[in-house]
Chain A
Amino acid sequence: MSDSPQESEVVTPSLPEVAGVFTRFANLTWGGGSATIAVLKHQIVEKRRWLRESEFELNYALSRLTPGTNLLAFCAAAGWTRRRWVGAIVALLAASIPCSLMVLLVTVFYEQLQGSPWFQAALRGALAAAVAIMGSTAWVFAEPHLRAAPRKAILIVPMTVGLVLGLHVSPVRVLLLSAAIGLAWPVPKKPPEAA
């Protein structure tokens, strides 16, 4: 979460670039929103430098606390961060229209696709890849914080597992509780400045 000097250099994309990247990378990943956000992170943080690491963290965490579809909230936040409202709208349209058209196409041809064992075999392979994508996404997101804040991780990770699997608490309540714990976590005192 720290802003290194290199991290502060960001590129402001043009609107066609925003449309192109979100169309290509927000619509072509199986495994749900977070897996897709991991792909977007690689593209817009590491490769194109549209967002700082700290801006990505902010957008991702807040998109998880926004009603509706988290992936689309992330895209709107990322677009807004560099290009304000017009960027948010362009990113949102680019991230939602192609995948909605794919949903429509599969809905129209549902009977044929569902009855085809070959399609099912290919889908099973894609879902096996989605399991790996979700696992790697969890690692990519959590790894810097496991290093930077191991004590917080020791509390949050088992707590999340216990609340969701043991007590069937809804994910958003777990996220809100985690946010409250993070806010209340003792802040380390700054070391005295050298004379």
Chain B
Amino acid sequence: MAGPEETAGGRVTKFILLLWIFMKGTCTSFAGLASLPEVRQELVDNRHWMTDEQIDQSIVITRTTPGPVGGWVVAVGYMVDGWEGAIAGWIAMTAPALFVILLVGYFGKRAHHPRVRGMLQAVVLASATLLVLAAVPIGREALAGPLTVAITLVALPLLIVKRVNTLWIVTGAALLSFTGAMVGVAQLPPATSMAMVDSAG
């Protein structure tokens, strides 16, 4: 966190530098956690503004909260430079998304061409496969007992066949697991990091 002795000019410089480091990571990566090596190298190895343990914490935090995995840079920004750092992280997470408009503008006019349709079809198929691969490490960590396995097995048909809202599924699963731990059906998990994987963020 920034010390009170820092001048306004120093804080602005640090904000711009942090934003530059984050943008370098997010503009050159294509998934939520893929910018991690670049950002880690700058902040941990080169500048010593944070520790590896804090980087690990930021990954746990992004998995703990709903929404995109890319939110880990907001946590890192806050750890390094308080609110200003969090804002730098938010800008770096959000701004690259606007690149897509160039792509949609170009391919949108050609979307009915059979080759463009073939390309989109192939990318969606590969994305779906990548999603299953990304679910495996999460499952390995989260499905630690019969209760959590049962939650997954019941939730899957509810989602595919009954189209139940995911918010109800997640809330119900969290409540079931919590209640299971309270009444002793499920073992209390240790207070350690959950499985971390890189997936579409």
Q: Which of these, A68, A129, A148, contacts B97 with CB under 8 Å? A: A68
Q: Which of these, A58, A117, A172, contacts B30 with CB under 8 Å? A: A172
User: B103 contacts which chain A residues (CB < 8 A)?
Assistant: 62, 65-66, 77
Say yes or no: A72-B104 contact (C-beta < 8 A), given A29-B167, A61-B119: no
Within 8 A of A (CB), among B82-126: 86, 89-90, 93-101, 103-104, 107-108, 111, 114-126
Q: Does B28 contact A (CB under 8 A)?
A: yes
Total contacting residues, chain B, CB less than 8 A: 109
User: A69 contacts which chain B residues (CB < 8 A)?
Assistant: 26, 32, 68-70, 93-94, 96-97, 201
B interface SS class: helix
Residue of B nearest to A52 (CB): B111
Q: Are B119 and A67 in contact (CB under 8 A)?
A: no
Q: Which of these, B71, B149, B182, B191, contacts A100 with CB under 8 Å? A: B71
Cβ distance A172 to chain B, nearest Cβ, rounded Å: 4
Q: Which of these, A73, A141, A152, A187, contacts B100 with CB under 8 Å? A: A73
Q: Are B169 and A129 in contact (CB under 8 A)?
A: yes
Q: Are A156 and B96 in contact (CB under 8 A)?
A: no
Q: Are A33 and B169 in contact (CB under 8 A)?
A: no
A interface SS class: helix
Give B149-178 as 1s and 0s: 1 = Cβ < 8 Å from A's Cβ atoms: 101110110011001011101101111111
Q: Which of these, B30, B120, B131, B143, contacts A134 with CB under 8 Å? A: B131
Q: Are A99 and B121 in contact (CB under 8 A)?
A: no
Given A29-B166, A55-B111, A157-B126, 10 extra CB contacts under 8 A: A38-B166, A69-B69, A70-B31, A142-B129, A152-B122, A156-B125, A157-B129, A159-B126, A182-B119, A182-B122
Please give me the 7 A-B residue pairs with the lowest Cβ-Cβ distance, nearest first: A125-B177, A99-B67, A182-B122, A68-B96, A69-B70, A132-B155, A129-B173
User: Contact residues of B with A, CB < 8 Å?
Assistant: 26-32, 34, 57-58, 60-72, 74-75, 78-79, 86, 89-90, 93-101, 103-104, 107-108, 111, 114-135, 138-139, 141-144, 147-149, 151-153, 155-156, 159-160, 163, 165-167, 169-170, 172-178, 180-182, 186, 188-191, 194-195, 198-201
